[in-house]
Structure 1
Amino acid sequence: MTILSRRSLLAMSLVLSLYACKKNTPPANTTDYLNEGKEITKASFTALSNKLSEQMKMGGPKQAIPFCNVEALPLTDSLANAFDVSIKRTSDKLRNPKNQATDRELEIIDAYKKIHSNGAVLKPVVERGSDNKMHFYAPITTSAKCLKCHGKTGEMMDVKTDSIIKSLYPSDMATGYGDEQVRGIWSITFNK
C-alpha cells in the first residue's frame, strides 16, 4: 500500500460521531468501532497509568519497571477479556518481546510517524484486516512521565534506570525518545 493510499485510508477512517454502542452489542459500522476502540484504549491507558503512577510514587522507576515487567500484560489481558477484544501495545522499538508488532502494525506505526513529522494531528483508525476482523489503531506518544523509562539515558532517564531496564529486558530498544514522539500504537482486534 502506498503512503498516499495509507493517508487516504487514515483520513477516511477518522470521521467521528457520538458513542452509540451498547456493551454487548457488536458495533454496527466503522464509526461505532472507532468510538468503542477509543473507549477501550482510554480505559486501558487509565488502568495502566494509574497502577504505574502508584508504583512510581512508592519507589520510582526502581519499583515501577519490575511492576510493568510482571503486571502490564496480565492487566491488559484482563481488560481485553472484559471488553471481548484483543488489546496490544506495540512498537517498532520494543521493550517486551511479547508485544511484537505484525507487519501491518509496523506499517501503521510508520504512517503515524510520517504524519506526525508533517505536523498533522494523529488520530485513531479502524480497518477490516486480512483476518476479516475489525482492527482499531491509535498512536502512543511520549510525555515527560514516559521519558523517565523511555527517554535518553543521562537526560530524562538516569543510568540506574537504564540498568534496571536492561536487567529485565536484555533486548530492550524502547529508549532514546524525546517528548511528544510516536512511541508505538494501541492495537485492538474486535472479536465480535
Structure 2
Amino acid sequence: MSRPPLPYLLPILIALPLLGLLLAPTEDPTPRLTAEADALAARYAGSLQTALKQAMEAGGPVAAIGACQQQAGPIADRLGADSGWRIKRTALRLRNPSSAPDAFETAALEEFSRRIAQGEPATALTRGEIVTAADGTASFRFVKAIAMGEPCATCHGVTLKPEVGAALAELYPRDRATGFQPGDLRGIISLSRPL
C-alpha cells in the first residue's frame, strides 16, 4: 500500500487545527457580565445613597425625596453612558409609574418575593441571564434586589411623618411605595446591555 503524496496531506494537516478552533465551545459570558453588572449596581446604589444622605443632612426627609426624584435618573444615565449599560430602578409597588417593570423584571420581582417568603434575605438576591427578544436580538439582563433598610423607612415605611406624606403626594400622586418593613423587597436595580 502506497502512501499519499505529501502535497495532498498538507491541506488536511492545516485544516484540522482550524476546524478544531471552529468547533471549540465558546466561552459563556454570563459570569463575566454578572460580575460587571453587580459591581455597577453597587456603584449606582452607593452614589444614590450618598446623594440622599447629603440631602437628608441638609434639609431632612423632604429634601431627600426631592433629591431622589432629581438625581436618581441622572446618576443612572451617567453610569450607563460611561459603561454601556442601561440602568434603572423598578418595583411591583411603584413610586414613579414611568419606571414600571417589563416582563423580565416582573418575573424577577415575583421570584425574589417567593424566595424572601421562604426565608432568603433580600440583600443576597440577584439574577443574570442572556435574553433573546422576539426580533432575535440578544441582551444580557441583570437584576439585584433592593432590600428595605431602616433609613429607607422614613420615606417608604409604614408610618410617615405628615410632611413626608405631603411631599410624596405632591411629587408622586400615584405613589404605592410605602408600607414596607425592614428586610422587605423594596424593588430592584435593573441593568441591561446589548450583546
Partner of 2:46: 46
Identity %: 27
SS of corresponding position for 1:129: strand
| TM-score under structure 1 length normalisation | 0.81
Match of 1:150 in 2: 156
TM-score, with structure 2 as normaliser: 0.79
Q: Which runs of 5+ in 1 are unaligned?
A: 1-26
Residue by residue, what CA displacement relative to the aligned partner does 1:40-74 show, whole Å, maximum 9, x if unpaired?
01110110000110000011112111111222111
> Which residue of 2 is the match for residue 162 of structure 1?
165
Cα distance between partner residues in 2 of 1:152 and 1:161: 12
Unpaired runs of 5+ residues, structure 2, are: 1-26
Give the Å deviation of 1:99: 1.0
Q: Match of 1:140?
A: 146
Cα distance in 1 between the residues matched to 2:49 and 2:71: 12
In structure 2, C-alpha distance between the alignment counterparts of 1:96 and 1:77, rounded to whole Å: 17
The one-letter amino acid of 1:92's match is L
Q: Deviations over 1:60-113 (max 9, x none)?
A: 112111111222111111111111110011000111122111122111101001
Equivalent residues in 2 for 1:91-130, closer than 5 Å:
91-121=91-121, 122-130=124-132
RMSD: 1.4
SS of residue in 2 equivalent to 1:33: helix
Aligned to 2:184: 181
2:120 & 2:156 partners in 1: Cα distance? Answer: 23
Counterpart amino acid of residue 62 in structure 2? K
Q: What is the SS of the residue equivalent to 1:60?
A: helix
| Residue 3 (structure 1) aligns with | none
Alpha-carbon offset, residue 29 of structure 1: 1.5
Q: Indicate the structure with greater helix content.
A: 2
Deviation at 1:28, TM superposition (A): 5.8
Number of equivalences? 163
Stretches of 4+ aligned residues off by more than 6 angstroms: none
**What's the secondary structure of 2:132's corresponding residue?**
coil
Q: Is the 8 A contact 1:34 1:124 kept in 2?
A: no
Select the structure of larger CA radius of gyration: 2
